[in-house]
Amino acid sequence: MKRMIAGAALALMSLTGAAVAEEYPERPLMMMVSYGAGGATDFQARIVTMTAGNEDALGMPIAIINKPGAGGRVGWNWFATQADPDGYTLAAYNVPHFIAQSIKGGVEYSTDSFEPIANWGADPAVFVVGADSEFNSMEDVVAFAKENPGKLTVSGAGLFVGHHIAALQIDKAAGTKMAYIPTKGGGAAAMKAVIAGEVMGGINNLSDAFRAQEAGNVKILGVADLERNAFLPDVPTMMEQGLDVDNSSVNFRGVMVPKGTPPEVIEKLAATVPEMFANSRVAKKMEAGGSPMHIMIRDEVIEMWAQRQQTLNELLAGL
Amino acid sequence: MEFIYYFGEVFTPLSFMLLLGGTIGGLILGATPGLSPTMAVALLIPFTFQLEAAQGLILLGAAYTSTVAGGAVSAILLKIPGAPANIATTLDGHTMAKQGQGARALQLSFLASAVGGIFGVLLLIFLTPVLAKWALAFGPSHLFWLAILGVTVIGTLDSASVVKGLLSGCIGLWLATIGFDDIMGAQRFIFHPALGGGINIIAALIGLFAIPQVLTMFAKGRQTDGAEVIEVQRHSILAAFRELFSRTRALSIGTLTGSIIGLIPGVGGQIAGLVAYDQTKKFSSEKEKFGTGHSEGVIAAESANNAMVGPSLVPLLTLSIPGSPTAAVLLGGLLIHGIFPGSDLFDNHPDVAWTFINSMLIGQVLMCIFGLYVAGLAARVAQVPQSVMAAIVLALSVFGAYSVQGSMGDVYVMACLGIGMFFLERFGFSAAPLVLGLILGPIAEANFIQGGMIADATVGKASYFMTGGLNLFLIAVVLASIAYSVWMELRHRRYTTKEEAQA
């Protein structure tokens, strides 16, 4: 009897190594979202993972758990230091947020702590003003900012998030100095400040701004991206309006695992997850919610992270 | 009157089943410590993927209204407030339960909830356009003064003396600074990674209210069985009705305060109950009875926190801005069906909008009926022997703190705060002002910093914070509130010295 158990144990041990990739995943997975339930990241994460249980995807469901706090730092700190690198613990990333935070310090992660799997969405930052504002283009905004240095109040979701990066880039490109007002409570609070007229303008997510414009509350003056967005074909990019602002502030959302996850597991995930995102049911729900999709495979994401790291290092060096 | 046209939708078989299920499920979830209304709604979102938009929202709306009311059950029977909204309910509600009047407290709380809730939803139906303007009127400077107004309440709230109340309020304000500061990203008082996100308010609530009580029960040790068992009085629903409507002052102050405060984005739900409790106490002719199991306290707190439900959705439904975490989750529930709140919702999907609002109205009534039904049964909890009770409350506390975000860190925070509070209570400090400090600290701070930054770029701090009608009005109320507290304290002192002199 003893020998049989020992034999079985041995057999199991030898199995675990080779068979990881084939058997994986054999139980449900967990995905950590470092923002609260109801936020844009949480909402999208739930949609893009809803087909994980299908046979042609992972064959196992993905459960979302939220670890919100401190602009995402709490969740990512936890993920870098305490999550098991066994392939069953995934997390959602937000670029440029976590990269900018790691450059500013005080956190226990950097791009080296994580292995990207795939990207699902890209939400560019846009410049919004109240519906009755006198500004009708970025030119008006820049002209005002030049005449009144430090007087143009612009709200955004916090320091060192995409919105702030976009504000810094606009300042750099136009040679202006706007008063960036970070709000507590994310993009919704920043948008409220614009609609209520507490600030003169704001930088916000394209998806939220699109909704607010549909409701007749704001005007969108420019998109901080390389090309116009399908949701807003009439709104020109910053580049078109003569401001040298690239896509560094675009909020990329995707899936990652901790460093140290077995390579065969990463390979399997990197092959399956983009397919899962491409599912037509997912695309329909994302479109309905006004969330722009942008699927990128692992190699593209690795490159994108490296690029961001470099741009942000330069941009944030002087702050 | 458009809403009446859509009432039929609520009573189709599937919709009504969902409404019923959402209400009963919501009551159970709400009564479970640690499951706040926001989490209960978030848990239900995946179920709405398969439903029609209107039906999905019925489920979410019903769950929202009944979890807020359900929180009163654990607040009254176990002294564990399920959410910040229920803090004020524990003050008198739990004392009533300990006196064997749990059934009466629960009946009153559900009836008051229904009255407040229906009033709130009616406001949402008839006054939405007006209210939307109101919600936007509160900028950073006004929210700052509003938070300061809350701080002035601290001294008089459920404490042996004003000084001790203020001291425990200060402890709360300090605890609120722990963690990464949300605006600047600075780290403050983080000794352990579990504190990085600051003190979780739900975990803190459970720790501060439930744990000292558990320790007290254990400290009493094993007493001769039977001596401690409380006789639970039966209480007829009709009598509860009569009592509720004889306490019109508490009911109307609670309902109005809850509706007004619930409207303000980002502040409302958490402090509506406490502010209403305090106001009712100030206007009451039986001030000294508050905190000793006085029914006015329960009525004010519960009518306020349900009255807030309707108005709290105004910014979301009209302006597409979620004013509270729960509203943010509901926004997700709308977006997943491709419906954008705002004019799109009322113009192009009136069936969804009005069915949702109507179902909250019917939901309030159903919640009240089921609540009254279980009140009599649930009140028998008080008969459980203390030693068993302590173990149950402890287990529920650990479960509740852990389930907030699946983290042991929150359990440690709960335990530490609870043990600390046990000793503070020995010295006459009380948990309610401490929690109020913990809630108001971040609101005051964030709005001061944000307002300060806007002011520096525009008109300067002094004129930004000190001018304008609404600012001046709020400052006046703050001053009046302080003056009232000082006056009461002085009068109280004169009386005590007289009595001492006589004795």
Q: What is the pLDDT along chain A (319 residues), one digit of tens a residue?
A: 455 555 555 455 444 444 555 678 888 999 999 987 777 888 899 889 988 888 888 888 898 888 887 788 888 998 999 899 999 999 999 999 999 999 988 888 999 999 999 999 999 999 999 999 999 999 999 999 999 999 999 999 888 888 999 999 999 999 999 999 998 777 888 898 999 999 999 999 998 898 888 888 899 999 999 999 988 999 999 999 999 999 899 999 999 999 999 999 999 999 999 999 999 888 988 888 788 899 999 999 999 999 999 999 988 887 6
- Answer for the pair B345, B339: CB distance below 8 angstroms, yes or no: yes
Q: Does A260 touch chain B (CB under 8 A)?
A: no
Chain Cα centroid distance, residue B464: 31
Question: B336, B344, B402, B404: best mutation site toward chain A, by most A Cβ within 10 Å?
Answer: B336
% of chain B exceeding 90 in pLDDT: 22
What angle, 0 to 180 degrees and rounded to 10, lies between the N-to-C axes of helices B162-177 and B140-154? 140
Contacts for B282 with CB less than 8 Å, ≥ 6 apart: B156, B484
Cβ-defined contact of A192 to B265 (cutoff 8 Å): yes
Identify which of A69, A158, A214 has the shortest CB distance to residue B340.
Answer: A214
Chain B, 369 to 408: residues with Cβ < 8 Å from chain A are 405-407
All structural domains of chain B with their residue ranges: 2-502
Question: A198, A200, A206, A319: best mutation site toward chain B, by most B Cβ within 10 Å?
Answer: A198
Q: Does A292 touch chain B (CB under 8 A)?
A: no
For chain A, percent helix, then strand, then coil, each to nearest 5? 45, 20, 35
**Residue A180 CA: distances (Å) to CA of A245, A314, B187:** 17, 19, 21
Q: Does A262 touch chain B (CB under 8 A)?
A: no
pLDDT above 80 (res B488): no
Residue position matching structure tokens 């699927």 = A295
- Mean pLDDT for B429-445 is 88
Beta bridge mates, A91: A32, A256
Q: What angle do CA B26, B31, B32 make, to 5 degrees?
A: 100
pLDDT above 60 (res B284): yes
Q: Does A106 touch chain B (CB under 8 A)?
A: yes
Q: Does B442 touch chain A (CB under 8 A)?
A: yes
**Residue B268 CA: distances (Å) to CA of A41, B14, B312, B359, B438:** 25, 33, 7, 22, 15
What residue type is assigned to position A270 of the chain? Answer: A
| CA B285/CA B274 separation, integer angstroms | 19
> Could you say which architecture CATH assigns to the domain A27-122+250-317?
3-Layer(aba) Sandwich (3.40)
Average pLDDT of chain B is 84
What residue type is assigned to position B179 of the chain? Answer: G
Q: Which two tokens stand for residue B188?
A: 């403050």
- Mean pLDDT for B88-106 is 89
Would the CA dihedral through B277, B282, B284, B288 be positive or negative? positive
Chain Cα centroid distance, residue A140: 30
Model pLDDT, residue A221: 96
Instruction: Read off the pTM.
Output: 0.84
Q: Which two tokens stand for residue B207?
A: 């720790």
CB atoms within 10 A of CB B54: 23
Cβ-defined contact of A42 to B332 (cutoff 8 Å): yes
For residue A153, what is the enclosing H or E element?
Answer: strand A153-156
- Answer for the pair A92, A254: CB distance below 8 angstroms, yes or no: yes
A293-296 and A251-258: which strand pairing?
unpaired
Closest-CA residue of chain B to A218: B319
Model pLDDT, residue A256: 96
Model pLDDT, residue B141: 92
Chain A, 162 to 181: residues with Cβ < 8 Å from chain B are 179, 181
Question: In angstroms, what separates the C-alpha of B454 from chain A's closest C-alpha?
Answer: 6
| Interface predicted TM-score (ipTM) of this complex, two decimals | 0.81
> How confident is the model over B15-39, as pLDDT tens digits?
999 999 999 998 888 888 877 888 8
Contacts of A285 in chain B (CB under 8 A): 336
Residue positions counted in chain B: 503
Helices (H), chain A: 2-23, 40-48, 73-81, 97-104, 138-147, 162-174, 186-195, 206-214, 263-277, 280-288, 298-317
- Mean pLDDT for B129-144 is 84
pLDDT above 90 (res B413): yes
Contacts of B450 in chain A (CB under 8 A): 181-184
* Residue ranges with strand state E in B86-222: 179-180, 187-188
| CA B343/CA A217 separation, integer angstroms | 10
Q: Does A316 touch chain B (CB under 8 A)?
A: no
Model pLDDT, residue B328: 82
Burial category of A61 from C-beta neighbours within 10 Å (exposed 0-12, middle 13-18, buried 19 and up): middle
Provide φ and ψ at A272, rounded to 5°: -90, -40
Q: How many CA atoms lie within 13 A of B263 on its CB side?
A: 22
Chain A, 44 to 63: residues with Cβ < 8 Å from chain B are 46-47, 50
Cβ-defined contact of B405 to A181 (cutoff 8 Å): no
Kindly report which listed range (A19-23, A150-154, B46-50, B418-422) carries the lowest average pLDDT score: A19-23
Identify which of B140, B197, B446 has the shortest CB distance to residue A74.
Answer: B197
Chain A, 140 to 159: residues with Cβ < 8 Å from chain B are 150-153, 158-159
Contacts of A201 in chain B (CB under 8 A): none
Cβ-defined contact of B336 to A71 (cutoff 8 Å): no
Q: Which two tokens stand for residue A28?
A: 């449900």
pLDDT above 90 (res B292): no
Dihedral class, residue B460 (left if φ above 0, else alpha if ψ from -120 to 50, else beta): left
Q: What is residue B308's DSSP assignment?
A: T
Closest-CA residue of chain A to B47: A50
| CA B153/CA A306 separation, integer angstroms | 52
Contacts of A159 in chain B (CB under 8 A): 183-185
> Could you say which architecture CATH assigns to the domain A125-241?
3-Layer(aba) Sandwich (3.40)
CB atoms within 10 A of CB B184: 13
Model pLDDT, residue B237: 82
Residues of chain A with CATH 3.40.190.10: 125-241
Cβ-defined contact of B197 to A69 (cutoff 8 Å): yes
Question: In angstroms, what separates the C-alpha of A147 from chain B's closest C-alpha?
Answer: 14
pLDDT above 80 (res B309): yes
Closest-CA residue of chain A to B342: A215
- Answer for the pair B155, B487: CB distance below 8 angstroms, yes or no: no
Q: How many CA atoms lie within 13 A of B34 on its CB side?
A: 21
Cβ-defined contact of B344 to A37 (cutoff 8 Å): no
Q: Does A294 touch chain B (CB under 8 A)?
A: no
Cβ-defined contact of A216 to B38 (cutoff 8 Å): no
Helix (H, G, I), strand (E, B) or coil at B261: helix
Query: Pick from B415, B409, B176, B185: which is nearest to A81 by CA?
Result: B409
Q: Does B342 touch chain A (CB under 8 A)?
A: yes
Cβ-defined contact of B196 to A77 (cutoff 8 Å): yes
Q: How many CA atoms lie within 13 A of B373 on its CB side?
A: 8
Dihedral class, residue B142 (left if φ above 0, else alpha if ψ from -120 to 50, else beta): alpha
Question: In angstroms, what separates the C-alpha of A11 from chain B's closest C-alpha?
Answer: 35
Return the exposure string of A229-268: e unless at least 16 CB atoms fall within 10 Å of the residue's CB, then b.
bebbeebebbbebebebbbbbbbbbbbbbbeebbebbbeb
Model pLDDT, residue B174: 93
